[in-house]
Amino acid sequence: MGKVYRTPQGAVEALKNVDLSVEEGEFLSIVGPSGCGKSTLLRILAGLSRESCGEVIVRAADTGQRPVNAVVFQEYALFPWRTVADNIAFGLEMRGIARYERAQIANHYLTKMGLAQFAGYYPYQLSGGMKQRVALARALANDPEILLMDEPFSAADAQTRTLMQMELLRIWEEDKKTVVYVTHSIEEAILLGDRVVLMTARPGQVKGVFSVDLPRPRELSIRTTPAFNELVERLWDALIDEVNRNLTLEKDKSHG
**Backbone phi, then psi, for 244, in 5-degree steps?**
-65, -40
Which pTM was predicted? 0.90
- pLDDT score at 253: 63
**All residues at 6 or more sequence positions from 124 whose CB lies less than 8 Å from its CB, including other chains:** 80
- pLDDT score at 9: 81
**Backbone phi, then psi, for 12, in 5-degree steps?**
-120, 120
**Domains of the chain by range and CATH?**
1-61+145-160+171-250 (3.40.50.300)
| 3-state secondary structure at position 85 | helix
**All residues at 6 or more sequence positions from 193 whose CB lies less than 8 Å from its CB, including other chains:** 27, 28, 29, 181, 212
Q: pLDDT of the chain along its 256 residues, tens only?
A: 999 998 888 888 999 999 999 999 999 999 999 888 999 999 999 989 999 999 988 876 655 667 888 999 877 789 999 999 999 999 999 989 999 999 999 999 999 888 999 999 999 999 888 898 899 999 999 989 999 999 988 878 888 889 889 989 998 998 899 999 999 999 999 999 999 999 999 899 999 999 999 999 999 999 999 999 999 999 999 999 888 877 776 666 655 5
By the 8 A CB rule, do 142 and 67 touch?
A: yes
- pLDDT score at 58: 82
Distance (Å, whole) CA 31 – CA 38: 7
Distance (Å, whole) CA 217 – CA 172: 10
- pLDDT score at 227: 97
- pLDDT score at 61: 63
End-to-end, the C-alpha distance of the chain in Å comes to: 29
Distance (Å, whole) CA 198 – CA 234: 11
Distance (Å, whole) CA 2 – CA 55: 9
Distance (Å, whole) CA 253 – CA 205: 20
Indicate the helix (H) or strand (E) that contains 105. helix 99-112
